[in-house]
């Protein structure tokens, strides 16, 4: 099963701003899943990018 979290939840988990997360998406360092108007990020990709759990 795939685990996804919202941008807001990702900001809280990584202590990064929304702007930083959107910049990473624009640089293709972080993929996103769009469902309607909502954007979700893969928990596995966040862990891989930032070195595991915090």
In the prediction, which pLDDT does 54 show?
46
Q: Which CA distances in Å does 35 have to 2, 4, 32, 52?
A: 15, 11, 10, 26
13 and 51 Cβ atoms separated by less than 8 Å: no
pTM: 0.81
In the prediction, which pLDDT does 51 show?
78
pLDDT digits (tens, 9 = 90+) for 2-54: 799 999 999 999 999 999 999 999 999 999 999 999 999 999 999 999 876 54
Beta bridge partners of 44: none
10 and 46 Cβ atoms separated by less than 8 Å: yes
In the prediction, which pLDDT does 52 show?
65
């Amino acid at each position: 099963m795939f685990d996804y979290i919202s941008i807001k939840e990702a900001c809280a988990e990584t202590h990064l701003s929304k702007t930083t997360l959107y910049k990473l998406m624009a640089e293709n360092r972080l993929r996103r899943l769009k469902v309607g108007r909502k954007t979700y990020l893969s928990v596995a990709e966040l862990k891989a990018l930032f070195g595991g759990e915090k």
